[in-house]
Chains A and B, each alone.
Chain A
Amino acid sequence: MITASTGSTYAGVLGIGSYRPRRIVPNSEILEQIDSSDEWIQTRSGIKERRWASDDETVLMMSVNAAKGALADSGIDPSEIGCVIVSTVTHLYQTPAIATQVAVAVGAPTAAAFDISAACAGFCYGVAMANDLVRGGSAKYVLAIGVERLSDITDRTDRSTAFIFADGAGAAIVGPTDEPGIGPVVWGSDGTQHQVISQRESWQEVFGNHNWPHLTMDGNPVFRWASFEMAKTAQQALDVAGVKAEQLDLFVPHQANMRITDAMRRALKLPEHVKVARDIERQGNTSAASIPLAITAMREAGEAKSGDLALIIGFGAGLVYAAQVIRLP
């Protein structure tokens, strides 16, 4: 007989942290390289400024800073972290995973560690896996990170994407709780639409031309899918968690575009009291990092507090998506 693992009956998010790059990039700087206007950018996306990482603000450095914030928030000793999951599409090495270096830097040097590629759904994918690892007994505490330096793979002359993508990191500590702290994940993918958000060429095709394969996006089909299909996914996440919209405190969708956020809010018919994350205005689209970044911004603004019920949903290139209800630490 093999002894089976046993974990905690319930798990929850015990701490959240984030890292915002120092340099603020206003729309005026983006406009130096594209034919557009501040008014156009703001009405199409809600973005007023974003942050781009400087040379020293590497994927590792931003991850570690966000992780340390989450650890401090949770009060968990780093040596108790049993697994580190990093979601990123901009750690520009295929191997090894950045997660192993993060584990060392935060003080969990022998934790299981790996990266995942789930684009803008990465944070929700990470939290879903962390929840199962804790409940399944494979790790007592899990550090889940979303981190991007999208400025590295953005075509600064592409007027449809240059103003959107940005940099940053966010992290969560997931561990055992007495009450359910994370609802069932509603997740999936649609590979028939793999081309609507994708890298334009493979690394092999890039050699000799420019430095990296650029990230491209076909805006209208993405907007349609995100605004309407994802609203249904978000509703399912509420339903399977047994949480009514009236009971929610916060709605924190991936910060892709303010117009998508507004369309989802309308489709979900969220009550007035539910506070909606609008970090994209100051932060741009930071892919896997955007949800924890938005949550920390709402905390700093006094809009979010411990014990709040938040509906989170990530969606992006793949296409991939994941949504769940979480209780804030």
Chain B
Amino acid sequence: MASTEEIRSNLAEIVNEIAGIPVEDVQLDKSFTDDLDVDSLSMVEVVVAAEEKFDVKIPDDEVKNLKTVGDAVAFIERAQNG
């Protein structure tokens, strides 16, 4: 099972690829919209890429609850363990 840091690091690469945010800025306490300037459409792209990368399902209803990088990492961890 991937560690929290591995998930964060992989997610950072996805965010970098889609939104051009430097990987080192994608930390657990950062808000996607307020700190990283990831808008709602880029967030959809991040979610789809994350679903493929981590082999999990992230429903549309859930996406609005993923405010910070930490929220997303925690959701992916739960989904992988569930």
Contacts and interface: CB of A to CB of B under 8 A. Distances in A.
Interface of A: 43-44, 219-221, 223-224, 227-228, 259, 263
A263 B40 contact: no
Contacts of A44: 39, 41
A220 B45 contact: no
A227 B45 contact: yes
B60 A221 contact: yes
Given A43-B39, A219-B40, 9 more contacts: A219-B41, A220-B40, A220-B41, A221-B60, A223-B44, A224-B60, A227-B48, A259-B41, A263-B45
B39 A224 contact: no
A253 to B, nearest CB: 16
Contacts of A219: 40-41
A223 B41 CA distance: 7
Nearest to B64: A220
B22 to A, nearest CB: 20
B44 A220 contact: yes
Contacts, number: 23
B23 interface: no
B56 interface: no
B48 A224 contact: yes
Contacts of B39: 43-44
Interface of B: 39-41, 44-45, 47-48, 60, 63
Contacts of B41: 44, 219-220, 223, 259
Nearest to B49: A228
A190 to B, nearest CB: 14
A94 to B, nearest CB: 33
A224 B48 CA distance: 8
Contacts of A223: 41, 44
Contacts of B60: 220-221, 224
Residue among B40, B44, B60 having the largest count of chain A Cβ atoms under 10 Å: B44
8 contacts: A44-B39, A219-B41, A220-B60, A221-B60, A223-B41, A227-B44, A227-B48, A263-B45
Contacts of B44: 220, 223-224, 227
Nearest to A45: B41
A263 B46 CA distance: 11
Nearest to B43: A220
B48 A228 contact: yes
A257 to B, nearest CB: 8
Contacts of B47: 224
A221 to B, nearest CB: 5
A214 B44 CA distance: 26
Nearest to B42: A259
A223 B39 CA distance: 13
Nearest to A196: B60
Residue among B40, B45, B60 having the largest count of chain A Cβ atoms under 10 Å: B45
Contacts of A224: 44, 47-48, 60
A30 B14 CA distance: 34
Contacts of B40: 219-220
Contacts of A43: 39
A44 B48 CA distance: 18
A205 B51 CA distance: 40
Contacts of B48: 224, 227-228
Nearest to A40: B39
A263 B43 CA distance: 12
